[in-house]
Structure formats: C-alpha cells, structure tokens
Amino acid sequence: MSEAIIEVRDLAVRFGSSTIFQGVSFDVRAGEIFVVLGGSGSGKSTLLKVMISLTPPAAGHVRLLGTDVWGSEGAARLALLKRIGVMWQAGALFGSLTLQENVEMPLAEHTSLSPRARAEVARAKLGLVGLSAAARKLPSEISGGMLKRAGIARALALDPPLLFLDEPSAGLDPITSAGLDALIRDLSRSLGTTFVVVTHELASILEIGDRCIMLDAKAKGIIAEGDPRRLGEESAHPTVRAFFHRQAA
Amino acid sequence: MSGAPDAMLAVREEGGARILALAGRVDTVAAERLWTRLVEEARAGRGGVELDLSAVTAVDTTGAALLLAAEAAAPGARITGARPPVAAVLDRVRAALAAPGPVAEPRPPLLRRVDAWGIGLFRAARDALGFVGEALVVLGATLIRPGRLRGRELLRHLDEAGTRAFPLTLLLGTLMGVILAFQSAIPLRRFGAEVFVPNLVGISLLRELGPLMAGVVLAGRTGSAYAAELGTMTVNEEVAALRIMGIDPMALLVLPRILAGLIVMPVLSLLLSLAGLLGMTFVMSIFGFPLVTVTQQLTQFVDLTDVLGGLVKAAAFGLAIGAIGCRAGLGAGRGPRAVGDAATSAVVGGIVAIIALDGVFAVLYERLGL
C-alpha cells in the first residue's frame, strides 16, 4: 500500500479560453480505492479522460503504472492500455454483441486463450458481477444497473491491476448501488486491484473510498484531499463541508 | 503482469494419485500458456488428482477460472495448499461460475413459427396502413388550418431535400441525356432516323426517367436522412417526450418532411429532365443537327400531357419516399443498429415503392388515354 500507481502532477485542462482546472497534483497508491469527488461541472469526468489518455491536458503530466500516459505511443501505449480497465458512465457496451461476447472481445484481441477457455473466463467474469443468467442478452435488452455491472465485467476481462470507474452508481437504486459498492470492495480486497472511482454519490463515497480528492468548479482545482469519512468534519472549506453535510452551498 | 515470476507446473505421481503442483503467479499471462496443458494433465489423472497451490503467490480471476476448469476436468479432484488471498479469489470465482447460466428458450414448433411470422406480417401491414392514414388525416387538417404547419421547419426541409440536391440532379440529368442520345443515335442511324432522337429522349425523360431518377436521388439523399434523424430521436426517446408533451409528432416531425418531399420532387424531376434535354441537344449538335431541328422535333412530338403526367407522378413519388423515410425512423428499435436499419429500409422501401407506383401510373395513364 505504498508505491504510487498513478502520479498526477500540475495538470491543467482548458477548452478554448475557459480553464476547467489547473495545478492538479495527486498520487494514487497500489491497492487503494481512490475517489474523485466534485459537483457537476467540476471536471471530474474530464480528469478521468485525461488520465486514460482520451483528452490531452494543457499542461502537466500523468504517469500510470510507471508509464507516462502522454509520452508513450505504439507498443508501450498498447502495453499500458492492456493493464487498465475502464467502466464507462453508460456502459459503452457494443450494442451488436451479447454480454458474453462483449467480455470475450478483449480476451480474443489481446490473449492467445482458446475459444473454449475464453468462454469459460468470460462466464467467470459475468458471474463475478452477478450477470450469469443474462450472458446471451444484448445490451439493449438489460436494465441500466445491469449495463453498469456488465461494463465492470468487460473492464475486468484482462484482470487489469488498475480500474477506472466513471459514475458507477449514478442513476441506480440504493440497493443495486450498494451491491455494486460491495463488489468493488470485494474485488479490491481479494484481487488487490486499484480503483479510481469518479462519483458524487455520498453514500457510495463513504462506503468504498479509502482516500479522495475533491474538485471544485469555482476554485478550478482540488479543494480537499484525504479520508472521505473525516473530510466532512475536518475540512475548513465551506464547499467541502456543505458537500458532506448535504447542504445547499 | 509482465516481469512477474512465471507460473510453473510440476507433475508427479504419489500413491496412485497425480499431483499437479503450481508455483508463482497464476494470472492471465500464465493462463494463456498453461490452460490446455493443465486441463489435459488433470483429465489424464485416473486415480485422483490433487492441485497443489502451496507455492502459488497470487491468482487473478482468469487464473482462478483455469484452476477451476482443471478441477472440473478430473472428477473428485482436490485443490490444496492455497494461501488465504488465493483461496479468497478461488472462492469468489467458484461462486461466480456456479451461478445458473442463461435459460435457453425452447424453439417453438414450425407451425407456431409460421403462425407468428404471418401475424407479424399482418401487424406490420396494418401499422404501415395506419401510418399512411394518420399522415393523411394530419395533412387534411393542415389544409383546413394551415397555421398548424411549422413554416420554418418546412423551409428547412425544402432547402435540404431540394436546393441542396440541385447540383447532383443537374449532373445526373445531363449525363443521362448525353448517354441516352448517344446510345439511341447509333441504332437509329442505320435507318437514317437520327432526327427522331429528340422525340425518344424527350418522351422517355419527361414521362419515365426524370421522375424515376429524381426519386432515386430523393430516396438516397433525403429518405435515408429522414430515417436516421427520426430514428435517433426515437432511440433517444425524444419522440416519446413530444407525445407526452401533447405535441403530435405527426404534425411536428412528419408533416413538414412529407410536404417537402411532395413539393420538391416535381421540381427535381423537371430539372433532371431539362438538364437531360440539354445534354441530348449537345450530342445532337455533335451529330450535325442544329438547335432548331431539335426544338422542332420536341415541340411537335412532346406535349404538355407528357410533362404534367411526369410531374404528377413525381409528386406521388415524393410523398411515398417522405412517408416511408419517416415511418422507418419512427419505427426504429433500440440499440446502435436500429438507426442503420431504419436508414437502409427507408432507401430500399423508397426505391421499391416508386417503381411499384410507376407501374400503377403506367396502367392509370393508359386507361385515361394519356
């Protein structure tokens, strides 16, 4: 629980003339569940996109698993991409493939496992997220909560040591959301997977978060960092206190 | 994963039992190499199989799936010596694999399937007819109260379906005229009848090919666009939102599009025919026939009935293409394929419909003696 698996330094993102955030620096340690908090428009999802090399930053750098995300290309970049998994906000499952085929796809693309072995592995991953019975369904035939769980199953396909989850519990009922939180906790404990979770669901933050940072649209950067269970009491920043106490700021 | 110590497999026999001892990290990379061999070794063990994991430092879920596949390959196999973190992952994956899989729905008997197919066909036909009826009612209501029509929407669609299609229509028309004149001039020359090329090209363009080709242009450019636009709106539940807001999607979305098709088609058809006549005139001038001969032939043999007949037909084609495109879009299913399917069926349906309508008009005009 010591080495930094993600290193973010002085990151800034601008769209045109408007600055989303700047001077963002933090570390994520191996094996922890790291939560990125913030209200709507604070740049949480943008930060995630910069970390997984989708949106280029205006300044600063990101190192994932020892590799500079924005300095690597070709084989080095592919090797890095095989070691991270992403669960997208709306699942982003391939609509023309069944859930089983969705999970098998990265395995077929990046491993030499035989088709039978692939099917068995995909069955295990779908079982891990409780979707065994829906293996042959298309993404358009299942509910929103199931889509998110299937998204996690696909992100887990190559057993990456680092998983990014974008709003895993947004739009889910409390029971499904709690189930998802338990799943994340379990995977983190039993597999040692590091999670970076972008969310604004308070219950979920307190349940799973080991450490968190909080972004703010007005401050254009990090306004708090630490244990989410203590931030609400310890932080002097009014927005942080308001967030954790569910007050209108 | 890379750079980690390899998982090693050692096989030994002990008291008739086969012991498969693994070591190191059993992860995805190791599973790729080991899968076939480990499962085979386990299957070959007759007098009991033991998977010894005491030297395994870590497993991931793929590795666990492999160990459990090996366990399942040999009846009565045991897994021993797993350290607590390894055992925890194994337990979790074991539970995951034990969950009941999808229940296969039994295939209904042949008669039932034919039955369902027939009913589906009947329903599709009924829905299509219902759509046409609904569109006609809205069209009629708009004729009585034109204020219901969104003028701005109609103008936008007139521009997109009409003015923006002009260059393509002109190009196609000119080429068609040139090609038709050239192709027909060669056989007619053998009878010294090249002078009748304008009659042939004029009649075929104004009565048949103008409306048909303009219809193909409209179906390809505009019918597919209607289907894709309305299909995306349907998939995003925007159409449902309109209905619930008490706004009739027929009046807001379908009517301006169908009207645009109706208005634009005669214009496109006429434009295509005129461009074709120009192309034909060009070819004739190459063959040595002056402009005056061409116009004389045309005015003698092509009359207003030919032109108007073609325009009425074109208007009917435009109505059909617009309606089929809108219907395909509004009937789109879910998922990313739905929009593509809607666009395809709009183009295919549109082209089939105009050729079928063309046949109807041929019979109709013959009966009316036009």
Per-residue pLDDT tens digits for A35-69? 998 877 788 888 988 888 888 888 888 888 888 88
Instruction: Spell out which residues of chain A touch residue B92, defining contact as CB-CB under 8 Å.
Output: 128, 186, 190
Q: Which residues have C-beta within 8 Å of that of residue B247, sequence separation ≥ 6?
A: none
pLDDT digits (tens, 9 = 90+) for B259-281: 999 999 999 999 999 999 999 99
- pLDDT at position B347 is 94
pLDDT-derived band of residue B5, with 50, 70 and 90 as boundaries? very low
Q: How confident is the model at residue B2 (pLDDT cuts 50, 70, 90)?
A: very low
Quick one: tokens of A246? Answer: 């569910």
User: pLDDT confidence of B333, banded at 50, 70, 90?
Assistant: confident
Neighbours of A236 (CB within 10 A): 7
Please check whether residue A150 touches B, CB under 8 A: no
Is B69's CB within 8 Å of A120's CB? yes
Smallest CA-to-CA distance from B160 within B260, B70, B40 is with B260
How confident is residue B204, by pLDDT bands cut at 50, 70 and 90? very high
The contacts found for A70-77 with CB under 8 angstroms, 24 or more apart, are A77/A53
**pLDDT confidence of A248, banded at 50, 70, 90?**
low
**Mean pLDDT to the nearest integer, B37-53:** 82
Sheet holding A67-68, edge to edge: A18-29, A4-15, A59-64, A67-68
The burial class, CB within 10 Å (0-12 / 13-18 / 19+), for A97 is middle
Residue for token digits 């930060």?
A47
What average pLDDT score do residues B135-152 get? Answer: 83
What value does the mean pLDDT take over residues A19-48?
87
Of B32, B92, B335, which is closest to A140 when you measure between CB atoms? B335
Look at residue B268 in the predicted model and tell me its pLDDT.
Answer: 96
pTM for the structure as a whole: 0.71
> CB neighbours of A178 closer than 8 A, spacing ≥ 6?
A203, A207
Mean pLDDT of chain B: 88
* Interface mutation vs chain B, best among A121, A187, A189, A193, most B CBs within 10 Å: A121
- By the CB < 8 Å criterion, does A203 face chain B? no
Q: Kindly report the nearest CA distance between residue B306 and chain A, in angstroms.
A: 49
In order of A133, B177, B198, B282, B283, the CA distances from B189 in angstroms are 74, 18, 13, 17, 14
Q: Tell which of B32, B40, B61, B71 to mutate to test the A interface (max A CBs under 10 Å).
A: B61
CA distance B30 to chain A (A): 10
